[in-house]
Structure 1
């Protein structure tokens, strides 16, 4: 899968609200009935970003920004 951050069009973050807002903003462009592959890719990117944000290793992501 491509980089989840690139698909969501956001920088790496551990902020679940930013991830959710990015997903919701892109969702109308990838309706499951008209673009099932695009929707699937967007959903996978969203789930991957949430996994990264909520994982114990998320401190590594935050530390890289310092």
Structure 2
């Protein structure tokens, strides 16, 4: 139970720090870059999934 408490406290502190950092110009650019990279990655994974799904459906 004590470990869960410290994990929750760490998450809260992390969110608070990220919020403060995101309010600075450099932090906003950083988070925009992270967001763009995450979207590109998820887009590539989705494209790969669709491609493989189409490939498997045509093999039937």
Q: Which interval holds the TM-score relative to the shorter structure?
A: 0.3 to 0.5
What is the TM-score of this pair, normalised by structure 2? 0.38
What is the TM-score of this pair, normalised by structure 1? 0.35
Higher helix share: 2
